């Protein structure tokens, strides 16, 4: 139960951070390119990389911190960071085919499922 609370606290803070950063970027730089999401995703990837590195090097970075910062904060700040972190872990394990299948299928099926969801709602109308 305590780990769930850690994930929830991190998720709460991560979603607020995502909103504030996205809003700031959108107000500062108007663009047809989804610049705010792009920056959030890349920032999340950098941050999760730092946290994964810390978890491997320092003793105080225990399961509570991982649950709060990696799963909760980064998970709600951007799920792309979790995707990138998992892909890198697979690459480090030498699972090149699994990495390729995971990355390509996540992107392609993600686009397809968004499209199907939109089409489903349009049919239901």
Q: Are 17 and 72 in contact (CB under 8 A)?
A: no
Q: pTM value?
A: 0.73
CA 24 to chain centre: 19
> From CA 14, how far away is CA 47, in angstroms rounded?
12
Tens-binned pLDDT, residue by residue, of the chain (125 aa): 999 999 999 999 999 999 999 999 999 988 877 888 889 988 988 988 898 888 888 888 899 999 999 999 998 998 787 788 889 989 999 999 999 999 999 899 989 988 888 888 888 86
Separation in Å, CA 112 to CA 31, 54, 67, 81, 90 = 25, 36, 31, 21, 24
């Amino acid at each position: 139960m305590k780990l769930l609370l850690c994930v929830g606290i991190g998720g709460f803070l991560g979603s607020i951070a995502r909103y504030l950063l996205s809003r700031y970027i959108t107000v500062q730089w108007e663009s047809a390119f989804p610049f705010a999401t792009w920056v959030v995703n890349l920032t999340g990837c950098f941050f999760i990389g730092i946290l994964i590195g810390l978890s491997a090097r320092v003793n105080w970075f225990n399961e509570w911190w991982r649950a709060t910062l990696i799963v909760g904060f980064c998970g709600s700040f951007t799920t792309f960071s979790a995707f990138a972190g998992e892909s890198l872990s697979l690459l480090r394990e030498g699972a090149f085919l699994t990495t390729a299948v995971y990355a390509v299928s996540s992107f392609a099926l993600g686009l397809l499922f968004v499209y199907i969801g939109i089409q489903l709602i349009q049919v239901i109308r």
